A and B are shown apart, each in its own frame.
Chain A
Amino acid sequence: KAGVTQTPRYLIKTRGQQVTLSCSPISGHRSVSWYQQTPGQGLQFLFEYFSETQRNKGNFPGRFSGRQFSNSRSEMNVSTLELGDSALYLCASSLVGFGYTFGSGTRLTVV
Chain B
Amino acid sequence: AQRVTQPEKLLSVFKGAPVELKCNYSYSGSPELFWYVQYSRQRLQLLLRHISRESIKGFTADLNKGETSFHLKKPFAQEEDSAMYYCALSPGGSNYKLTFGKGTLLTVNP
Give me the interface of A with B, judged by CB distance under 8 Å.
3, 31, 33, 35, 42-45, 48, 50, 55-56, 58, 90, 92, 94, 99-105
Contacts and interface: CB of A to CB of B under 8 A. Distances in A.
B43 interface: yes
A92 B46 CA distance: 11
Interface residues of B, number: 19
Contacts, number: 48
A42 B84 CA distance: 12
Interface stretch (B13-21, B23-31, B67-75, B95-103): B95-103
Contacts of B98: 33, 35, 43, 45, 92, 100
Given A43-B86, A102-B44, A103-B43, A56 B103 contact: no
Given A42-B103, A43-B86, A102 B45 contact: yes
Nearest to B48: A99
B25 to A, nearest CB: 15
Chain A binding surface, main DSSP class? strand
Contacts of B96: 31, 33, 48, 50, 55-56, 94, 100
B34 interface: yes
22 contacts: A33-B98, A43-B88, A43-B98, A43-B100, A45-B98, A48-B96, A48-B97, A50-B94, A50-B96, A55-B94, A55-B95, A56-B95, A56-B96, A99-B46, A99-B49, A100-B46, A100-B96, A101-B46, A102-B43, A102-B44, A102-B45, A103-B43
Contacts of B99: 45
A44 B2 CA distance: 12
Interface of B: 34, 36, 43-46, 49, 86, 88, 94-103
Contacts of B36: 102
B99 to A, nearest CB: 7
Nearest to B47: A99
Contacts of B46: 99-101
